[in-house]
Each structure stands twice: as C-alpha cells, then as structure tokens.
Copies of this chain bind each other. A is one copy, B any other.
Amino acid sequence: MEQGWKTAVSKSSEQETLIRGYSIEELVGKKSFAETVYLILKGELPSKAEAVLIDAMLVSCVDHGINVPSVTAARIVLSAGNSFNTAVGAGILAIGEFHGGAIEQSAKFLSENREKSAADAVKQMRAEKKRIPGFGHKIYTSDPRTKRMLEIARENKFWGKTIDFALQVEKELEKQSGKKLCLNVDGCIAALITEMGFDYRAGKAFFIIARSAGICAHVLEEWQREKPFRRLDESETVYDGKAKRELK
C-alpha cells in the first residue's frame, strides 16, 4: 500500500500482543470487556465511573427485537445458506443513517455546539430547518432509558458541561418549538461519550459492538431453529410494473 500500514491501536508479534501499550495477557482477568472497549477506542483506561457507564451503554444497545433491519438482513443471509460471520456482517451493513446512526450525528452536533448557549444552538438549527439529532421520540415525551442512564451517571458522579448542554437544548427545543422533544437514548449516549472526550466519529462504534451481540444471538437462533430458506411469500409482494408484452 502506498501509505503503509501504521497503527497506534495494537502491536502484535509472535512474542506478545499489546493493546494501547498494555499486554493483552495482563488485561485478561483484570479488566472487563467494557473497560477494554474504552481503552481500545480511546487509548487510555476509563475511570471507575466511565467504566460503569460504558457497560450501561453497551447493555442498552444490545438488542431491540427481531423487527429491526440488521436482524432481518442477517437472518435472511444465513437462511440462504451462508456462514455465521457472513450473516453477522450483512447485519452490520444494515446499520445505517436511520438505524444506529443517530449517536454519531448527535455527538457531532454536541461537540460542535457545546461552546455556544443552548438557545443560540437551537435557534441556528431551526433557522437552517435542521432536525437536532438525539432529540425527540415517536412515543416518549421523556425517554425512560435516558432517565436511567443519567441516574447512573449521577450515582457515579460522572457529570459535566456536555450533559448540561444537552439538557438545556432539550428545554430550549420545547421553548422555541412549543413541542416536547426529549433527549432520547441516542442523544444521551452521545452526550456521555462526548463528555468522556471521544471523537464523534466513534459514535457508531458503541452501537455496533453492542448490537453485534444481538445480531449473533439472532443468527444463532436462525441456525438452530429454522429451516432454510426464507423468501417473501407472493402474498406479501405487489407487482405494479408493465403488463406482459411481446418482444417486437
């Protein structure tokens, strides 16, 4: 490769593997997976409070039922006669702007705006007719998952400017729009990781790592319980194209 392959993430030789400088054999048994996720994405080990919150985030994103695109896609791919990792890979592909993408978008908004007043940030987004990512929910006017996560943050004395800013945006949104657009779970995770100092570009990582477990569970279940091969039933599909015609 013209650019060469350079990394600060890990070092592996026949003698040892270092994760951000720590021997993997030393991490094993001493650090949790949640702590290791923080370490490998950020470069340093988390504080106790941060470790608790990373665990909470990962658990909160682990699965959300069979109805979501990533699970449907993964199960279809296994069912057509493919390997476990091919199916999980297809599931990860179905994570996108509208499925798991909000954390990144919200973290971008928060990190770019938290130096402003919430009032100004909301005013500007409204002037540009942009939706503020991480706020609003189909049915909740107060997201119970956000409430739970912020409770854990408070109990562990993890708080700061970005979280305050996110909560002020929630209030400003109601004030300026007249509608209650609550800080949803994506926005809450975005606020927490931004507070921890993560780059917004890491936003999808937490969702993907967590959800890979849910996708694996569904792929395993498909393999264990279902016969190949899934296809839409004719009754589910509609053809609205050209009527039958002859080649001239």
Contacts and interface: CB of A to CB of B under 8 A. Distances in A.
A241 interface: yes
A244 B21 contact: yes
B90 A73 contact: yes
Given A59-B24, A204-B84, A246-B26, A66 B9 contact: yes
B217 A41 contact: yes
Interface in A1-60: 1-14, 17-34, 36-37, 40-41, 43, 52, 54-56, 58-60
A209 B208 contact: no
Contacts of A236: 1, 4-5, 67
A134 interface: no
Contact of A148 (B29, B94, B205): B29
Nearest to A69: B80
Contact of A201 (B7, B36, B224): B224
Interface string A63-95: 111111110110111011111111011101111
A238 B6 CA distance: 5
A120 interface: no
A131 interface: no
The count of identical subunits is: 4
Contacts of A82: 83, 85-86, 93-94, 96-97
A41 B220 contact: yes
Interface residues of A, number: 129
A216 interface: yes
Contact of A242 (B8, B208, B229): B8
Contacts of A52: 29
A167 interface: no
Contacts of A56: 28-29
B92 A88 contact: yes
Interface stretch (A99-107, A108-116, A122-130, A170-178): A99-107
Contacts of A227: 3
A138 to B, nearest CB: 7
15 contacts: A4-B238, A10-B63, A18-B242, A21-B245, A29-B151, A32-B32, A40-B214, A68-B232, A69-B76, A69-B231, A77-B94, A85-B93, A92-B212, A98-B229, A199-B224
